[in-house]
Chain A
Amino acid sequence: MNNYLATSNDLPTLIVVGNGMVGHHCVEQLVARGAGERYQIHVFGEEPLRAYDRVHLSEYFGGRDAESLALGELALYHTQNVHLHLGTPVVEIDREHKAVITRNGRMTYDHLVLATGSYPFVPPIEGAEGNSRLVYRTLEDLDLIRAAAKGAVRGVVVGGGLLGLEAANALKSLGLEAHVVEFAPRLMPVQLDDQGGAALKAQIESMGVQVHLSKATGSITAGEIYRYRMNFAGEDFLETDLIVFSAGIRPQDALARQSGLGLGPRGGIAIDNACLTSDPSIHAIGECAAWNGGIFGLVAPGYQMARAVAASLCSEDAEAFTGADMSTKLKLLGVDVGSIGDAHGATPGSRSYRFIDEAKSSYRRLVVSADGKTALGAVLVGDNSYYDTLLQYVQNGIALPADPAGLILPRGEAAPALGVDALPATATICSCHNVSKAAICSAIDEGCSDLAGIKSCTKAGTGCGGCSALLKQVFEHELTARGVEVDKSLCEHFAHTRQELYHLVRVEGVETFEELLAKHGKGHVGCDICKPAVGSILASCWNRPIMNPSLVPLQDTNDTFMANMQKNGTYSVVPRIPGGEITPDKLIAIGAVAKKYDLYTKITGGQRIDLFGAQLHELPDIWGELIEAGFETGHAYGKSLRTVKSCVGSTWCRYGVQDSVGMALRLEDRYKGLRSPHKIKFAVSGCTRECAEAQSKDVGVIATENGWNLYLCGNGGMRPRHAELFATDLDDETLIRYIDRFLMFYIRTADKLQRTSVWRESLEGGLEYLKAVVIEDSLSIGDELEEQMQMVVDRYECEWANALKDPEKLKRFRTFVNDKGSDPDIHFVSERGQRRPATLHELKLVPVTEETA
């Protein structure tokens, strides 16, 4: 392995030095443009890991691992003629012989792209070393910070810029008392003005991060209470256990210096508008490059350069790089901060509008031209909902309204967003993927008629997602402009809402997807949006076994195989344990099955047991044994009733006033298998102490001395919502009648994948209306709803028992149709006495180096 062989075929060699965010984006863009057919591409990365997301580095301490921070797909580096060499720094460039030199030898190149990035600048301060001289740039740096934080109480970040505040956030999430020391008289001096900096300081300090401004550290000595003492000018000092420097970046241009490439006046590899260096076969992109003498320390301009270079290397028309917009919108320590264009009002004659809310430490500034006609820049602290509109005004030179102040003043309801018709065709809607308004319009003209289609076709809104609202507005406006009524179509195949489809199915007695599509839809196939939605409606209405041949292709994979697919393609299995009550024999039976099939076993939040790691062809055998032991399917895979959680109630508990387990069993038995717009969870508590946490469920029942209190539309999960008290002191029969009506009314009227909590919030008339419909029967549909529910209840059949009886249905449960073996790519490792999926690292799928053939 001393010398890389010369390339083995006739393709020219393209070497990319650096596998950071920009280097990675360049490779991505090259591959997308088919560069794999023109070049042998070799990528050299200094770090042992492939490119990862530096922008979200602080999440590493919040639990994200290196793997989840990795950018894009590993598959990119398995593309033909793309070779990734990690942990292999390029130490020298031999321009005369067009070769790079690594510790593994030389490799000649035809084209070279330098994307070596930058390194953190640490000012020369006496006494700064070890834990008093940490930096914040790579995952390795973060590991050092984490190690230093062990046993530490206080941590200081030197530098109050964007990265410094991110670093402070990282220290905070490590449980340290975080301090920020900034040399300038305000935070984020580049992006913010004085008032903006002050508002940000107030917000950050209210979160417990202390800010020290106008402080220059002269030296670091031993501390008295903490480990170090930072000595500022005068007598001033601050003690701390560790110090992280984040005082700016410097371009990593060592290779350029060594090989004699032209440099910028303040460092960085000098590039022209085509990102070419002084050597015509070498490009430089990202933070190592100096365009017009300046370095761009944000990822977006780096991506812009990467795109330009990828295009020109693939002989496509490349857009010249002529500087970049440094506007930025971000959340620092939970605070919205935005800076657009000329944020400081540096343009001669410019004037500013300012809004200051000292109570909420919120600040907005709009900078306009001398004639007041165009917006030049803006500063936002505390609320970035103004950002998109202001950015469009600034970037596209849109004429300002008569009173520009309205753009930054607080508003009652929805944003007085810029009329999207005012945006020119060239306006960038999605900056991550560089999608213009014109591109969206042409996608519409080519037949994309829903938002999902637009996202698929243009990729708009699939990066950071920040443009979603704007994208939706543009899309709906353009549809209206084309005389199309803005529809709430399910997808491109059905111009109906889920609610309308439900009615059509119900009224016309439709029992198959094909019939509904033929009568009310477009095309002959459908898609992964409408098929599961219609499958769910059909099940809610008619409750036929979901494994019937006409229903199978409608189901999401979990419903199709009646199990939950996990990340490695194996399934988890959850037998129903009604009310969380289980006999020792049944527990043993579950244990025996888990042991026999070597399944990872975990108790769920819904008082049942989840068995992980089953392969497709094992599912029928597993279920055969579970059914034999008296279990039924738990529908953990379906948009349907999951569990009815319960406490032990009056049977055992000294406080219990009703038999909560008995009621939970009755409810779970009645509604099991009910398909609905989204999953549904119940709980029953035996007294007001509420041990079953019923108020966080879609349907919560709490015992009283006189019967049951019914709570509806609660939710845990991502957006918690307390259930609302709906009716009090109900007897058993009334309780069930109300729940029948409530559930069927929800199923009838909710949108696709809308939980009861969101449905309830969007219900016109709110809780009072719901009470009128369910309790007072104001729509005279009470009987109908109850009958519909009764039919679903009567037709219940355990789907697994049904499938096991039918060899035709079982044919689907084969990993391979032509081989009885299991999937050879599924690997497990043992952890804490059970097996779990092997990570990519453990599989060594990430090669440290890959040699040319």
Chain B
Amino acid sequence: MNMLAQKTEPMAWQPVCRRDDLVAHSGVVARVGDAQIALFYLPDQAEQPVYALDNRDPKSAANIIGRGIVGQICGDLVIAAPLYKQHFRLKDGSCMEFPEQRLRVWPVRLNGDHVEIADSPV
């Protein structure tokens, strides 16, 4: 089990999909209420193997972030948006090229076979 958020209050977790819905080294998308959340699974990253970010690309206004390529640039794990190739850091959703673009990030954890996210973004 991986606790990822460093909050003091207990947070409410909700299951969004199963572990085998995830695709290793890549992303899938889950729908939670009105939000679309891109889930990236990096099984080799012991510290944090799953990341949850907004699926909406601020540049194109299309819901495509979950279909980008996961990579590492200057030490940061990033997702490259598939249409215009700008990079967002997985840890906080910040954009390397355009600081005004930012993705929301949800605390996320693996709980047995379930992938769970917190009920509100960080």
Give residues 69-103 of A contacting B (CB, 8 Å): 72-76, 79
Give residues 707-762 of A contacting B (CB, 8 Å): none
Q: Chain A residues near B61: list those with CB within 8 A.
A: 74-75, 840, 845
B24 interfacial by beta-carbon distance below 8 Å: yes
Q: Chain A residues near B73: list those with CB within 8 A.
A: 453, 456, 492, 527
B26 and A557 within 8 A (CB): no
Q: Chain B residues near A814: list those with CB within 8 A.
A: 28
Q: Chain A residues near B120: list those with CB within 8 A.
A: none
B 72-106 binary contact with A (CB < 8 Å = 1; else 0):
11110110101101010000000011111100000
Q: How far is the CB of B28 from chain A (nearest CB, A)?
A: 5
Q: Chain A residues near B29: list those with CB within 8 A.
A: 815-817
- Bound: A702/B30 CA distance, A: 52
Give residues 304-358 of A contacting B (CB, 8 Å): none
Q: Which A-chain residue is minimally distant from B64 (CB atoms)?
A: A569
B70 interfacial by beta-carbon distance below 8 Å: yes
Q: Which B-chain residue is minimally distant from A561 (CB atoms)?
A: B67
The listed residue (A448, A556, A567) touching B60 by CB distance below 8 A is A567
A438 interfacial by beta-carbon distance below 8 Å: no
Known A-B contacts A456-B87, A456-B96, A817-B17; A526 and B62 likewise in contact (beta carbons under 8 Å): no
A526 and B100 within 8 A (CB): no
B70 and A525 within 8 A (CB): yes
Q: Which B-chain residue is minimally distant from A549 (CB atoms)?
A: B24
Q: Chain A residues near B71: list those with CB within 8 A.
A: 525-529, 531
Q: How far is the CB of B62 from chain A (nearest CB, A)?
A: 4
Known A-B contacts A553-B23, A823-B63; A816 and B100 likewise in contact (beta carbons under 8 Å): no
> What DSSP secondary structure best describes chain A's contact surface?
loop
Give residues 25-75 of A contacting B (CB, 8 Å): 28, 31-32, 72-75
- Bound: A567/B82 CA distance, A: 10
B23 and A73 within 8 A (CB): no
Give residues 1-57 of B contacting A (CB, 8 Å): 16-17, 21-26, 28-31, 36, 39, 42, 44, 56
Q: How far is the CB of A298 from chain B (nearest CB, A)?
A: 23
Q: Which A-chain residue is minimally distant from B78 (CB atoms)?
A: A527
A473 interfacial by beta-carbon distance below 8 Å: no
Q: Chain A residues near B30: list those with CB within 8 A.
A: 816-819
A557 and B100 within 8 A (CB): no
A818 and B17 within 8 A (CB): yes
A278 interfacial by beta-carbon distance below 8 Å: no
B58 interfacial by beta-carbon distance below 8 Å: yes
- Chain A interface category by residue count: 35 or more
A565 and B31 within 8 A (CB): no
Q: Chain B residues near A462: list those with CB within 8 A.
A: 97
The listed residue (B28, B62, B80, B85) touching A812 by CB distance below 8 A is B28
A567 and B98 within 8 A (CB): no
Q: Which A-chain residue is minimally distant from B79 (CB atoms)?
A: A528
Q: How far is the CB of A51 from chain B (nearest CB, A)?
A: 13
A821 interfacial by beta-carbon distance below 8 Å: yes
A492 and B101 within 8 A (CB): no
B26 and A552 within 8 A (CB): yes
A544 interfacial by beta-carbon distance below 8 Å: no
- Bound: A253/B70 CA distance, A: 50
A215 interfacial by beta-carbon distance below 8 Å: no
- Bound: A31/B99 CA distance, A: 8
The listed residue (A73, A527, A561) touching B101 by CB distance below 8 A is A73
Give residues 647-706 of A contacting B (CB, 8 Å): none
The listed residue (B16, B58, B77, B80) touching A73 by CB distance below 8 A is B58
Q: How far is the CB of A545 from chain B (nearest CB, A)?
A: 16
Q: How far is the CB of B69 from chain A (nearest CB, A)?
A: 4
Give residues 134-171 of A contacting B (CB, 8 Å): none
Known A-B contacts A524-B44, A569-B64; A459 and B100 likewise in contact (beta carbons under 8 Å): no
- Bound: A72/B97 CA distance, A: 12
A 534-575 binary contact with B (CB < 8 Å = 1; else 0):
000000000000000100110011001100010111000000
**Top 3 A-B pairs, shortest CB-CB distance:** A527-B71, A569-B62, A553-B25
**29 interchain pairs, CB-CB under 8 A:** A28-B100, A31-B99, A32-B100, A72-B98, A75-B59, A462-B97, A523-B72, A525-B42, A525-B70, A525-B71, A526-B71, A549-B24, A553-B25, A553-B69, A553-B70, A556-B82, A565-B64, A569-B67, A616-B67, A817-B22, A817-B29, A817-B39, A818-B16, A818-B17, A818-B21, A819-B31, A821-B31, A825-B36, A825-B63
Residues of chain B touching chain A, judged by Cβ–Cβ distance below 8 Å, are: 16-17, 21-26, 28-31, 36, 39, 42, 44, 56, 58-64, 67-75, 77-78, 80, 82-83, 85, 87, 96-101
